[in-house]
Structure 1
Amino acid sequence: MYNKQLDAFIHAAELKSFSKAANLLYITPTSLIQQINLLEHHVGVQLFVRSPRGVTLTKAGESLYQDAKNIIRLSNNAIERAQMLGGNNDSGIRIGTSLLTKCRYLPDFWARMIEVYPDTEIKLVSQKNPEQANRQPLSDLGVAYEMQEGLYLSEFYRGKCNFLEFRQVPLCAAMSSDHPLHHLKSISFANLNGYTVLLLRRGISESFDFLRNALEQYPEIEIQDIDFYDINVFISCEMNNQILLAPEIWKDIHPTLLVHPLEGNFTVPYGLIYALELSNQALKFVAIIRELLM
């Protein structure tokens, strides 16, 4: 769906060598240079500075390089999405999973799905680098996978997906066994005075913002913003002897952190996050989940 000369261009730009790019693409250097020349003629500008030491991008080439990567990604995504919705692939129902999006409830639902539709195939897809996934939320939803289980971060996800709630998950206080508050059975806001708590930054989730509003009534509590949750946040909490405010359902993420109930009714929606457009199999799966939740 895109001009294949872009592949030659991108490899040459990254390797800074026409010959190395040609070897990678299993073509001759002459053939690759012809493709680059044709591309430069097509766009009407010089893309590379040639020298005996190799090639480097011109300013115009640098601009095209960034755009070309996006063009290829969007083209591949479009093909995958069309194949998924058209039923022309054999990948079954693809469910994204990672450390923070484990399938905790879905196995019971897909067991029922297989009872009703024995030919159903469930495939678990390992989600990409967690940091990238959190900075670009749901960018692979509807492309690499059709659904995932997890928290619904209302402000981040609104308009980008559908959501089917399984339950409201309590927000808790996680800390190391060395923390002065570790012996308490539950944590009140008064207990948190003088301590640093890690909390999802404002504007991502109505549920977390509601908790933040309550915390801000206690000026002696220091709130440290986090952009997203990943394993590094849990490790930082332990190493710096801080308190992490996180959902109770993640109590198994870091085995050395102790999770304590937080006094007050602070919860976050947890359930099925699924693409705005689904394959026929996935639509049937969502219908079965709805039926079982009733």
Structure 2
Amino acid sequence: MYNKLLDTFVAVVETGSFAKAAEKLFITNTAVMKQMNNLEEQLEFAAFRRTSQGIFLTEAGELFYQEALTYMALSKEIIEKARKVAATNQYTIRVGTSFLNPCKAIMDLWSKISDTYPQFKIEIIPFDDNKQNILTVLDSLGTTFDIIAGSCDSKQWQERCQYYELEPLPFCCAVSREHRLAKKKSLTVSDLDGETIMMVKKGDSPANDAVRQLFIQSDSVISLENLPNFYDMSTFNRCSNTSNVLLSFPQWKDIHPNLVTIPLEIDPRSSFGILYPKNPSQDVVEFLKCLNI
């Protein structure tokens, strides 16, 4: 693609002055002069003769001007052809999103590179991720939608899809705004002495099981309330309506207006990333490559 300084160069040549070129391009006279000085530095020769009667092309500048017109026209033709090809080879990637598994992380990644890959379009597909149907949702990867973002430490989840980790996921505790711990900036296990911790039952999540063992082996007196393997809105409502502490994650900090999410200072981490089908389509494979996955 041609250097944008060529647009200013051609405007100067065709108007015969820096001032008129600036007016045509809706920029300042100073900006035009700086751009032309920059261009001549890159070219390593003088394109203009600056005199009291005006500015004129040097012999080298005249040759450059003629060749630049040809080059710019060819560049525009190439770009137009490429755009037509991109328009006829559009691929739609369906991104699932829900209350507990929002697509923001994927869209943040995509926004940084979308201009480079115009052949892909994103379609956001909402889904309901209550604890009764989340496994059915995962079975729909590749049919209803192509990818979703979420934590994936569940053995049942991993049986149903492939997974690419974007980052380790620290554990937090969610408590009601009236809870004695609500104003804490962070929590240690000893801070939880005397509390009832709501967390998923043992067996499906190695990371949760590691946290469970940490609570059991600590010197603090901590009661554990077993939850189903997957949370839904009723889980957060129960935490809000009791004095219990809910083992949670940072991305859920805004799920419930009456809950405060506080970092938990422990070593075990879960995992956050992109879930996609066991046998993804070629479109999805190419899209994931764009994301460097």
Amino acid at match of 2:165: E
Distance 1:114 1:200 in 2: 38
Name the count of aligned residue pairs: 202
After TM superposition, the score normalised by the length of structure 1 is 0.64
The equivalent residue for 2:222 is: 221
Q: Does the C-alpha gap of structure 1 residues 256 and 282 become closer, same or farther in structure 2, counting only changes over 3 Å?
A: same
Distance 1:129 1:214 in 2: 29
Q: Is this contact kept in 2: 1:197–1:222, CA < 8 A?
A: yes
Distance 1:278 1:134 in 2: 19
Distance 2:137 2:215 in 1: 26
Q: Is this contact kept in 1: 2:129–2:137, CA < 8 A?
A: no
Name the % identity.
Answer: 29
Cα shift at 1:248 = 1.4
The equivalent residue for 2:273 is: 271
After TM superposition, the score normalised by the length of structure 2 is 0.64
Cα shift at 1:135 = 5.3
Q: Is this contact kept in 2: 1:137–1:157, CA < 8 A?
A: no
Q: Is this contact kept in 1: 2:91–2:120, CA < 8 A?
A: no
Gap runs ≥5 in structure 1: 1-89
Secondary structure at 1:179's aligned position in 2? Answer: coil
Q: Is this contact kept in 2: 1:113–1:285, CA < 8 A?
A: no
Distance 1:185 1:285 in 2: 39
Distance 2:193 2:202 in 1: 20
Cα shift at 1:281 = 2.1
Q: Does the C-alpha gap of structure 1 residues 273 and 184 become closer, same or farther in structure 2, counting only changes over 3 Å?
A: same
Secondary structure at 1:191's aligned position in 2? Answer: helix
Q: Is this contact kept in 1: 2:100–2:129, CA < 8 A?
A: no
Alignment root-mean-square deviation, CA: 2.0
Task: Say yes or no: does 1:122 pair with 2:132.
Answer: no
Q: Is this contact kept in 1: 2:91–2:119, CA < 8 A?
A: no
Cα shift at 1:113 = 5.3
Gap runs ≥5 in structure 2: 1-89
The equivalent residue for 2:29 is: none
Distance 1:240 1:223 in 2: 14
Secondary structure at 2:132's aligned position in 1? Answer: helix
Distance 2:290 2:91 in 1: 20
The equivalent residue for 1:281 is: 283
The equivalent residue for 1:144 is: 144
The equivalent residue for 2:61 is: none
Q: What is the CA deviation profile of residues 233-260 of structure 1, one whole-angstrom value per residue up to 9, with x for unaligned ones?
A: 1111010121111111211111221111
Distance 1:196 1:240 in 2: 10
The equivalent residue for 2:68 is: none
Q: Is this contact kept in 2: 1:96–1:124, CA < 8 A?
A: yes
